[in-house]
Amino acid sequence: MFKTIYHKAEDFFYKKILKPIIFTSRLGRRSMFGYGGSGLNIDYIYKNVPSGYTKFGKIIDKILLNLPAAKSTRTRKEKIIKVLREEIHKNNLQNKKTKIVDLASGPARYLVELYHSEKKKDNIEIVCIDNDIASIKLGKRLTTNLPILYRKGDVFKIHKYKKISERHCWKPNVVVVSGFYEFLDDNLVKESLLQIFEEMDYEGLLFLITQMNNPNKKLLEKLGTTRSKKAWTLIYRDPSTVIKWMEEVGYKDINFEIDFWKMFVYYKGRK
């Protein structure tokens, strides 16, 4: 009985008190309208410039942008840049081009920053694949006159790009997957890991980022929604599970790192 009363009181607090307050924030409203995990919202967190539909909303937006989950997300961006920069420099020493594919990329602002920061730009080629038109349009605006291609596509069917790869003698030697697998069931994740392995160049790097927890999980689940209007309930996985799947596919030199907030897990594995 007391448990039922507690849950009713909790739901009342989130839906009737907190929801109208957060709705005045740009980040909060987007999350409620189904863009919580979208590339556009992630990019908004990366930029970290508060905005609201009222002056009060701007204050709420600033609070949301400073929650642990948002801080962890911005740290993720810096981590991606660091890992890719190390891989680019390693390939440069071997006189190899770094060919990056980012699956479910969103606008991929981190790749734009990475490209601008590199001196030897001729050795970098990037393809971003996402199914969200709005994210692709933003990405194209960010990369005007840059050799970063955005393609609308099903990230579960990357084998469809095999003919194009063969025609242009182009196979990625780096594949980035971040903020994506936590929306998928186990079988889809394993299928995706296998497809990436099959289409990636020999000794190529898979840089994978998943969530093992979220410090603001309850807020997201109570108020956030996905684009399909379902509750924003993610699948959090222990690193041992993901490593086991990678090993079963055939990835080598697998290692992982957990971030400060124990939210994101960063995996690296080679073909």
Domain annotation for the chain: domains and CATH numbers: 2-67 (no CATH), 70-270 (3.40.50.150)
Specify the DSSP element, H or E, that contains 130: strand 124-130
Provide the pLDDT for residue 6: 63
Which residues lie below 8 Å from residue 66, measured CB to CB, with a gap of 6+?
A: none
> Is the pLDDT at 99 greater than 60, yes or no?
yes
Confidence bin at 32 (pLDDT 50/70/90): confident
What mean pLDDT do residues 134-148 have? 88
> Is the pLDDT at 209 greater than 70, yes or no?
yes
> Is the pLDDT at 227 greater than 70, yes or no?
no
Provide the pLDDT for residue 221: 84
Provide the pLDDT for residue 180: 87
Q: Name the residue with tokens 């204050």.
A: 59
Q: 226: closest CA among 26, 34, 32?
A: 34
Q: Of 110-119, 165-174, 197-206, which range is least confident?
A: 165-174
> In sequence order, which ranges of 96-181 are alpha helices (DSSP H)?
109-117, 133-142, 162-167
What mean pLDDT do residues 41-62 have? 93
> Is the pLDDT at 3 greater than 80, yes or no?
no
3-state secondary structure of 105: coil
Average pLDDT, rounded, for the chain? 88
Q: Which residues of 81-104 are buried (b: 16+ CB within 10 A; e: fewer)?
A: bebbeebbeebbeeeeebbbbbbb
Provide the pLDDT for residue 212: 96
Specify the DSSP class assigned to residue 95.
Answer: T
Provide the pLDDT for residue 165: 59
What mean pLDDT do residues 27-43 have? 82
What mean pLDDT do residues 60-68 have? 95
Burial of 183 (0-12, 13-18, 19+ CB in 10 A): middle
Provide the pLDDT for residue 114: 94
Which residues lie below 8 Å from residue 41, measured CB to CB, with a gap of 6+?
A: 27, 30, 31, 35
Which residues lie below 8 Å from residue 260, measured CB to CB, with a gap of 6+?
A: 72, 75
> In sequence order, which ranges of the chain are alpha helices (DSSP H)?
2-12, 19-22, 26-30, 39-47, 55-65, 68-93, 109-117, 133-142, 162-167, 186-199, 217-223, 239-249
Spatial separation of the C-alpha atoms in residues 166 and 202, rounded to whole Å: 15
Provide the pLDDT for residue 163: 57
- The count of other CB atoms within 10 Å of the CB of residue 49 is 10
Provide the pLDDT for residue 230: 66
> Is the pLDDT at 72 greater than 60, yes or no?
yes
Confidence bin at 74 (pLDDT 50/70/90): very high
Helices 186-199 and 239-249 meet at what angle, rounded to 10? 40
- The count of other CB atoms within 10 Å of the CB of residue 5 is 9
